[in-house]
Structure 1
């Protein structure tokens, strides 16, 4: 009996580590492989709208101008009189965002629920009066058509009620950020960085074939 239990535990352990090894290997290789649009001929339309990609070392955000001819984000949010020239959007698991402000706050239940794909998602919106290129930031210049595509992608990721974004009634990390209900589910195969990577694909920017981590995006801009 004990031998059978030992064999069972050994088999389960072997399967687990095999899965982890294949999982890590596949997502790393796919993050190295550029999406086919990366080799497309440069669009001849004048590129005139500047955006940024920003990472904190784990999580990537889109940082967009607050107001352009294409989209006025100030009409979508109450910025409470603050001077806002840039708005950052980051999609992710609600539990990670709200219940885990620092890694020391991470609980096993939060991580397991997020990785299972069963948890709710949230959009983290942060405002800036000034935002410039720097370490862990990449500047991109889009055509109006490309920018419109990205705006639609971000807008479609918000959960709406009567056409309005639905705020989550919790305190942000600072006075300059807030959380909103979002569509989709975070999982072992679709993370906050996958969401950004998909948005880059849609607006024909450099992107990985598939990635779970921020460096899978940023290595294509080095």
Structure 2
């Protein structure tokens, strides 16, 4: 019957997508563990991966090094030197959906459409206080100085710079503690916020799944291979 062919195509698409997600979770990237050199001082840096049902962020500790590395955060008015500030939180995502959807109750059709197709990207930066560990939505990792440097460089390179200046998006924030900035790259359903997080973590010497479009697939692969 004529209606069976579209159903077969739909079933094939659903099966392919499901297979890609499963394979992307359980096939590690890189395939083999990379040997890490031990430093003389044994210096380690703790980083966090923060997850909600659809999105992941990376948190790095606030200290003199990170404040010097990202001076534009303080210049934008973020309270990075507040006595209770402990973490800088970074996430990458689609411009329309990320900025215009601070909560599910504010979901709109056009940002959702752009989030499922193609959109310019932004970096969301936030300040957090103490983060309770362990928690279901928090994963912590200890990394060496070389891996930490590569992670900071990756985050820094994700910001668009014009004449050396990071581009703040005016009047775009969820509250007084966060800001949005123009970012490099295009967002899509295939290359999304969680694949950015996964790539950053690989720069930090961690192993992820081969393709992690969802927080649950990233969290699972991180637990399996690190």
TM-score bracket for the superposition, by shorter chain length: 0.7 to 0.9
Q: Of the candidates 32, 42, 65, which is equivalent to residue 61 of structure 2?
A: 65
CA contact (8 A) 1:60 1:196 kept: yes
Matched, 1:82 2:61: no
RMSD (Å) for aligned C-alpha atoms? 2.3
Matched, 1:134 2:134: yes
Unpaired runs of at least 5, structure 1: 1-5
CA contact (8 A) 1:37 1:204 kept: no
Matched, 1:163 2:159: no
CA contact (8 A) 1:70 1:144 kept: no
Matching of residues 1-80 of structure 1 within 5 Å: 7=2, 10-36=4-30, 39-45=33-39, 46-69=42-65, 72-73=68-69, 75-78=71-74, 79-80=78-79
Deviations 1:76-127, CA, capped at 9 Å, x for gaps: 212356343310000001111111222233233322222222x111111010
Deviations 1:21-71, CA, capped at 9 Å, x for gaps: 211221222112222366233432234111111112321111011225476
Aligned length: 215
Distance 1:181 1:70, change over 3 A: closer
State the match for 2:212 in structure 1.
Answer: 211
119-128 or 65-74, which deviates more: 65-74
In structure 1, what is the Cα distance between the partners aligned to 2:174 and 2:66?
Answer: 29
Name the structure where strand makes up a greater proportion of residues: 2
Unpaired runs of at least 5, structure 2: none
> What TM-score, normalized to structure 1?
0.86
Q: CA deviation at 1:141?
A: 1.3
